[in-house]
Amino acid sequence: MGVLTQQSKHYIKPKTDKGVQTLNRLCTAAEKLFHKQGYHATTIVQITTKAKVSNGTFYIYFKDKLSLYKYMLEQYSHEIRKASSMAAAHYSTYYEKEFHGFKAYLEYVIKHPGAFILISESLYVEPEFYKEYYDHFSTRYKASLASGIENGEILDCDLTTAAYMLSGTYTFLSMKYVLFDKRKSISDDEVEKLFRIWKQGLFAMTEALCTESLSPSKTDCCERVESCKNTL
């Protein structure tokens, strides 16, 4: 984890290169400990011991463990956005940008499983942090989606719903790859499995059968499916 390049109210910015290195050691130590034993079970003494600095040094940068936690959430958010943006910058269509941006996101959390766990655990450490993280993520996503809609590249839809749908999908696929499968890498073919569903539409096969209403009754849709089968 690198030092956050933007200002943050949760830490005191180092004034020297040595201070930057010390801050990095504290964050690296905290990431490993939070990943291994969780936020609540980790103490400041454990963090400073693992970082090989004095307890007093910790308070030069952070007023308490929660401030460190907030800083790390901000840093992860910044680094994830940066990784996705850099990967997407080489492509022109919205589909390509989203595909490679998502792959970069997965590669980041696979390489930094502690980041994913820290973000997820924030729901229990401080629910407002968790909400702020995804609200911030959603706000940035909506701007990107709006551009895609304006260019005629994606469906004209509710931006908030779409932003949280994408965020939710990414979060739970990350959970599978990072926590359950403990993956070390991700291939284009695996990312394509998700994007094929989005591109073709999960309910595309029933679109012609349910054209009269966006919310057809179960009976109505079943009757149309049977009618379609009888004509085959």
For 200-209, write each residue's pLDDT tens digit. 888 877 655 5
In angstroms, the CA 10 to CA 72 distance is 9
Q: Which fold has domain 17-201?
A: Tetracycline Repressor; domain 2 (1.10.357)
CA–centroid distance for 232 within its chain:
44
- What ranges in 62-179 are assigned the alpha helix state H? 65-88, 94-111, 113-125, 127-150, 159-174
Whole-angstrom distance, CA of residue 104 vs CA of residue 120: 19
Secondary structure letter of residue 3 according to DSSP: P
Q: Which residue has the tokens 């739970």?
A: 172
Nearest partner of 39 among 125, 162, 158, judged by Cα:
125
Q: Domains of the chain: which residue ranges?
A: 17-201, 204-232
Q: Render pLDDT for 79-112 as a digit per residue (tens, 0 to 9).
A: 999 999 999 999 999 999 999 999 999 999 999 9
What are 193's two structure tokens?
């499995």
**What is the band of 179 on the pLDDT scale with cuts at 50, 70, 90?**
confident
Instruction: Name the region of 13 (left: φ>0; alpha: ψ -120 to 50; beta: rest).
Output: beta
Quote the mean pLDDT of the chain.
86
Question: Does residue 190 surpass a pLDDT of 80?
Answer: yes
Cα–Cα distance for residue pair 149/157, rounded to 1 Å: 8
Residue 62, burial from CB neighbour count under 10 angstroms (0-12, 13-18, 19+): buried
